[in-house]
Amino acid sequence: MAVDRLESLLRGAFPDAGELRVEDRTGGGDHFQVTVASPRFEGMSLLDQHRLVNDALAEPLRDGTIHELRIKTKGTG
C-alpha cells in the first residue's frame, strides 16, 4: 500500500524521527498528509525542512503515486 511505502521511505530518511505519520486524506491512496518531527529540522528554514521531505519522497512524487502532498514538519526541541 502507498501509505506503507511512503512511511518506509520517510523512516529511511529520518531514522531519528520522534513522530512520523502518513495519512491517506481521502481514502483514495493518492492524497497524503505527512507529519515528521526530527531533530534534523532544528535550526533549518521551513523551506529546507520541506525540501528534505520532498527529497525522501522524490520517487513516489515522480511516478504519480502522490497526487497531492501536505507536509507538516517539526523540530523536537
| Binding status of residue 59 toward other proteins by CB under 8 A | no
Give, as ranges, the residues between 24 and 53 that touch other proteins (CB under 8 A). 46-47, 50-51
Distance of CA 50 to the CA centre of its chain: 8
Give the contacts of 49 (CB within 8 A, at least 6 positions apart). Answer: 41, 73
Q: Which of 4, 12, 27, 62 binds other proteins (CB under 8 A)?
A: 62
User: Which amino acid, one-letter code, is at 48?
Assistant: D
| Binding status of residue 8 toward other proteins by CB under 8 A | no
Binding site for other proteins (CB under 8 A): 46-47, 50-51, 54, 58, 61-62, 68-72
